[in-house]
C-alpha cells in the first residue's frame, strides 16, 4: 500500500508544480490553497502508511485532518466564488474559526478523548490500521463536512437555475468535484478498508480544477484583455500610487518612454525629464477633475493617447494607471477631416455671405424704392440706420440691458426696413406736402401693420428667426408711444419691443433735424428739446441716458452729411 500512497503523492506534487508554472495573479486564492493543501495531505497519508508504531502514526494521522478540515472548506469557498455568490466577512470568519477549532481538537488525538476516545495501532500485511473510538469533536467534524457539502451543492444548484452568466461547464465541474469528494470520503471508507480513496479524490480534484482554471482564463475578460494587450505589444501600461511614486510599466510603455527604464520602483518622477513633467501635470489635472482623463503626447512623427484611470486592487483604489496607445493614424485622419471641414465651412460661409449680401441689397433696394416715393429729401433709411447704431453703441456700454452681439447687429440691419409698409400707401397721400386730413392719416398709419406683413413675407423661411422677429417688430411698432397713444396697436410701456423703442427715437430725431419738402430742418437744440420732452410719453424714459450720451455723436454725424 505504500506504493499506492507514494504514486498519489508524486502525482499531486506534479500537478501542484504545473499549477505554479501556469499561475497567474488573477487566479482564485482558494484554488491556490487547494493546490498547496492536497500535496501536504497526501504526504501525511504516505507517511502514515510507512509507520510501524502508534508513536510514528500519530503525527501523520493528525496531519491528514488538514485535508479533512481545510480542504473541504476551500472547496466550498471556490464554489461560492466561481458561482459569484458573495459571503460576508463575518460569515467567512465564522467558517474559518469553526474549522480551526475542529482541526485543533484533532491535534489532541492520543492525549485526550475529545476527538478520539481511544486510539490503537496495528500493521497487517503491510497495511496500517488506526483502531479508534470517535469522540464528540469527531462527530462535529462529520457534521461540519456535511454542512459544507450541502452549502456547496445548494450554491451550485442556485447558480445553474438563476445565474446565466456563469459557465455551465464550470458549474458541472464544480458539482463533479463535490460529488467525487463526498463519495470518496464516506462511501469509499465503507467499501475499501485497506486504502484511503479520498487521496485519489484529491488528485482528481486537482485535475478538475486545472480544467476549470483554463475555462476561467477564457471567461475572465479583464485578465485576458490585459494579457492580450501585453502580448500584442501595442498598448503601454504605467502605474503610480497616490503619492505619484512609480509602481511599474510594461515593455511597450518603456519603448515609448525610455526614461521609465531609469525610474526606481517606489520612487517619484525623474527630474528634468519630459515624460515625468508631463505625467505629473496630467495627474494633477485628473485629480482636479476625473473627466480630464485623456491627454496627447507628441514624439517625433507619432501621437500617443494617454488615458488615465484609477488603479484598483479588487474594489479599492490604489493609485493611477496610464493606458498608452498609438493614436497617430487617428489624429492624422482627424486633422484631415478638420482641414476638409474648415475648407468646406469657409466655402459655405463665403456662399452664405454672398447670399446674405444679395438679400440685404434686395431689402435696401426695396426700402430705397419706397423712400423715393416719399416726400422726404432722401437718405432717411441710411440716416436712421446710423442713428440706431449710435444709440446701440451707447446702450452696450451699460450692463442694464445686456444686449447680445446678434441683437445689436440685427436691429441695425433691420432699421432700413422700418418704413417698407409705405409701399402700400397711395402716392397722393404719401407725397402730400401739407398736413394729412384725419382720413388720410388713418390710411398713412396702416403702413406700420402693412410693413410688418411685408417683412414677414420677405423673411419667411429664413434660418435667422431672431432677425425675422426683430425686423417685424421694428416695422410694426416704431410708431407706438410709451404712454399708449401710438399706433397701430396702442401698445404701452415695456409691451413695446425694445428694438421698436430704440427705432422710434432714431426715426423721430431724423425727422426733426432733416429737411423735407414741406419744412426746413430743425436745429439740434430744438430737436433735442422735443426729444427730451417726449421721454416718458412718446419715448421710453429708461433710454433717456443713452440718448443723452449719444447726442453729441448724433449731432456730429448729421453735421458731417449733406442734406
Q: Give the model's pLDDT for residue 366.
A: 62
Q: Give the model's pLDDT for residue 140.
A: 95
Q: What is the pTM of this model?
A: 0.47
Is the per-residue pLDDT at 439 higher than 70? yes
Is the per-residue pLDDT at 497 higher than 80? yes
Q: Give the model's pLDDT for residue 84.
A: 85
Is the per-residue pLDDT at 356 higher than 70? no
Better pLDDT: 193 or 86: 86
Q: Of the candidates 261, 293, 326, which is a domain's last residue?
A: 326
Asked if 314 and 397 sit in the same domain, the reply is: no
Q: What is the pLDDT of residues 31-73, one digit of tens each?
A: 999 999 999 999 998 998 888 898 998 999 999 998 889 999 9
Asked if 42 and 138 sit in the same domain, the reply is: yes
Between CA 550 and CA 83 the distance in angstroms is 81
Asked if 276 and 382 sit in the same domain, the reply is: no
Do residues 420 and 451 touch, judged by C-beta distance below 8 A?
yes
Q: Cell numbers of 51, please?
A: 509507520
CATH number at residue 413: 1.10.3210.10
Residue 336 resides in a domain: no
Is the per-residue pLDDT at 228 higher than 70? no
Asked if 73 and 165 sit in the same domain, the reply is: yes
**Three-state SS annotation for 408-443:** HHHHHHHHHHCCHHHHHCCHHHHCCCCCCCHHHHHH
Between CA 258 and CA 224 the distance in angstroms is 26
CATH number at residue 45: 1.20.1070
Sorted by sequence, the CB contacts under 8 Å of residue 372 that are 6+ apart come out as 378
| Mean of the per-residue pLDDT values of the chain | 84
Q: Cell numbers of 178, please?
A: 463535490
Place of cell 506504493: 3
Between CA 171 and CA 190 the distance in angstroms is 29
Mean pLDDT (whole number) for 393-422 = 86
Between CA 102 and CA 115 the distance in angstroms is 9
Domain span holding position 82: 2-219
- The mean-pLDDT minimum among 256-260, 371-375, 530-534 falls in 371-375
Asked if 23 and 131 sit in the same domain, the reply is: yes
Query: Where does residue 373 fall: left (phi above 0), alpha (psi -120 to 50 degrees), or beta otherwise?
Result: alpha
Q: What is the pLDDT of residues 185-226, one digit of tens each?
A: 777 666 666 678 888 889 999 999 998 887 765 554 445 455
For the chain, what percent of residues have pLDDT higher than 70? 88
Asked if 407 and 440 sit in the same domain, the reply is: yes
Which strands make up the sheet holding 316-326, listed edge to edge? Answer: 246-249, 235-241, 316-326, 302-313, 294-299
Strand (E) or helix (H) holding 450? helix 438-458
Coil vs helix vs strand at 469: helix
Q: Give the model's pLDDT for residue 365.
A: 62
- The mean-pLDDT minimum among 134-143, 431-440, 469-478 falls in 431-440
Residue 41 resides in a domain: yes
Is the per-residue pLDDT at 482 higher than 50? yes
Say which DSSP state 108 is in.
T
DSSP β-ladder status, 316-326 and 116-124 = unpaired
Is the per-residue pLDDT at 328 higher than 90? no
Do residues 299 and 257 touch, judged by C-beta distance below 8 A?
no
- The mean-pLDDT minimum among 28-42, 113-127, 511-525 falls in 511-525
- The mean-pLDDT minimum among 160-174, 228-242, 533-547 falls in 228-242
CATH number at residue 244: 3.30.450.20
Specify the number of domains making up the chain.
3
Better pLDDT: 64 or 431: 64
Asked if 312 and 410 sit in the same domain, the reply is: no
Sorted by sequence, the CB contacts under 8 Å of residue 12 that are 6+ apart come out as 38, 39, 42, 199, 202, 203, 206
Strand partners, 180: none
Residue 380 resides in a domain: yes
Four-residue CA torsion sign, 532, 537, 541, 543: negative
Q: Give the model's pLDDT for residue 377.
A: 42
Residue 338 resides in a domain: no
Residue 332 resides in a domain: no
Mean pLDDT (whole number) for 501-512 = 92
Say which DSSP state 260 is in.
G
Sorted by sequence, the CB contacts under 8 Å of residue 305 that are 6+ apart come out as 294, 295, 296, 324, 325, 326, 327, 330
Asked if 238 and 351 sit in the same domain, the reply is: no
Asked if 93 and 140 sit in the same domain, the reply is: yes
Better pLDDT: 516 or 275: 275
Query: Where does residue 110 fall: left (phi above 0), alpha (psi -120 to 50 degrees), or beta otherwise?
Result: left
Asked if 488 and 425 sit in the same domain, the reply is: yes
Asked if 184 and 281 sit in the same domain, the reply is: no
Residue 228 resides in a domain: no
N residues, the chain: 563
Mean pLDDT (whole number) for 393-406 = 86
Residue 340 resides in a domain: no
Asked if 8 and 139 sit in the same domain, the reply is: yes
Q: Of the candidates 219, 251, 280, which is a domain's last residue?
A: 219
Q: Of the candidates 219, 242, 259, which is a domain's last residue?
A: 219
Q: Cell numbers of 69, please?
A: 478540515
Is the per-residue pLDDT at 227 higher than 70? no
Amino acid at each position: 500500500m505504500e506504493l499506492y500512497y507514494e504514486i498519489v503523492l508524486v502525482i499531486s506534487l506534479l500537478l501542484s508544480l504545473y499549477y505554479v508554472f501556469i499561475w497567474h495573479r488573477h487566479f482564485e486564492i482558494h484554488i491556490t490553497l487547494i493546490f498547496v493543501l492536497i500535496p501536504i495531505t497526501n504526504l501525511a497519508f504516505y507517511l502514515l502508511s510507512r509507520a510501524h508504531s502508534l508513536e510514528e502514526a500519530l503525527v501523520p494521522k493528525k496531519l491528514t485532518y488538514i485535508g479533512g478540515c481545510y480542504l473541504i472548506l476551500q472547496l466550498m469557498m471556490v464554489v461560492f466564488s466561481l458561482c459569484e455568490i458573495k459571503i460576508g466577512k463575518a460569515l467567512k470568519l465564522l467558517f474559518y474559526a469553526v474549522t480551526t477549532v475542529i482541526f485543533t481538537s484533532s491535534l489532541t488525538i492520543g492525549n485526550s478523548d475529545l476527538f478520539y476516545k481511544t486510539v490503537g495501532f496495528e500493521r497487517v500485511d503491510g497495511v496500517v490500521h488506526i483502531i479508534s473510538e470517535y469522540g464528540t469533536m469527531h462527530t462535529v467534524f462529520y457534521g461540519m463536512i456535511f454542512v459544507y457539502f450541502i452549502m456547496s451543492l445548494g450554491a451550485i444548484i442556485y447558480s445553474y437555475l438563476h445565474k446565466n452568466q456563469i459557465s455551465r461547464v464550470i458549474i458541472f465541474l464544480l458539482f463533479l468535484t463535490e460529488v467525487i469528494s463526498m463519495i470518496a470520503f464516506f462511501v469509499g471508507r465503507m467499501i475499501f478498508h485497506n486504502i484511503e480513496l479520498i487521496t485519489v479524490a484529491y488528485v482528481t480534484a486537482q485535475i478538475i480544477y486545472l480544467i476549470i482554471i483554463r475555462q476561467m482564463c477564457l471567461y475572465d475578460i479583464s485578465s485576458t484583455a490585459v494579457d492580450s494587450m501585453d502580448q500584442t505589444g501595442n498598448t503601454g501600461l504605467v502605474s503610480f500610487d497616490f503619492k505619484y511614486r512609480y509602481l511599474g510599466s510594461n515593455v511597450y510603455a518603456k519603448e515609448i518612454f525610455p526614461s521609465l527604464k531609469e525610474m526606481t520602483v517606489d520612487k517619484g518622477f525623474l527630474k528634468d525629464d519630459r515624460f515625468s513633467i508631463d505625467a505629473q501635470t496630467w495627474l494633477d489635472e485628473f485629480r482636479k477633475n476625473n473627466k480630464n482623463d485623456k491627454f496627447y503626447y507628441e514624439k517625433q512623427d507619432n501621437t500617443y493617447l494617454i488615458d488615465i484611470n484609477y488603479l484598483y486592487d479588487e474594489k479599492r483604489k490604489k493609485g493611477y494607471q496610464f493606458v498608452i496607445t498609438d493614436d497617430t493614424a487617428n489624429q492624422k485622419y482627424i486633422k484631415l477631416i478638420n482641414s476638409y471641414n474648415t475648407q468646406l465651412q469657409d466655402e459655405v460661409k463665403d456662399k452664405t455671405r454672398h447670399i446674405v449680401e444679395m438679400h440685404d441689397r434686395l431689402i435696401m433696394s426695396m426700402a430705397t424704392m419706397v423712400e423715393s416715393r416719399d416726400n422726404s429729401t432722401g437718405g432717411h433709411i441710411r440716416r436712421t440706420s446710423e442713428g440706431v447704431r449710435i444709440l446701440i453703441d451707447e446702450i452696450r456700454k451699460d450692463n442694464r440691458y445686456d444686449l447680445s452681439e446678434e441683437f445689436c447687429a440685427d436691429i441695425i440691419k433691420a432699421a432700413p426696413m422700418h418704413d417698407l409698409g409705405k409701399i402700400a400707401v397711395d402716392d397722393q397721400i404719401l407725397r402730400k406736402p401739407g398736413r394729412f386730413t384725419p382720413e388720410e392719416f388713418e390710411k398713412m398709419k396702416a403702413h406700420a401693420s402693412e410693413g410688418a406683413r411685408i417683412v414677414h413675407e420677405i423673411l419667411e423661411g429664413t434660418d435667422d428667426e431672431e432677425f425675422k422677429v426683430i425686423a417685424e417688430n421694428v416695422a410694426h411698432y416704431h410708431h407706438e408711444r410709451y404712454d399708449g397713444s401710438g399706433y397701430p396697436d396702442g401698445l404701452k410701456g415695456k409691451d413695446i419691443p425694445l428694438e421698436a423703442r430704440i427705432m422710434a427715437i432714431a426715426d423721430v430725431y431724423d425727422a426733426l433735424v432733416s429737411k423735407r419738402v414741406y419744412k426746413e430742418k430743425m436745429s439740434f437744440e430744438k430737436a433735442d428739446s422735443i426729444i427730451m420732452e417726449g421721454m416718458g410719453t412718446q419715448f421710453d424714459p429708461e433710454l433717456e441716458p443713452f440718448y443723452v450720451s449719444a447726442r453729441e455723436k448724433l449731432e456730429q454725424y448729421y453735421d458731417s452729411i449733406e442734406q
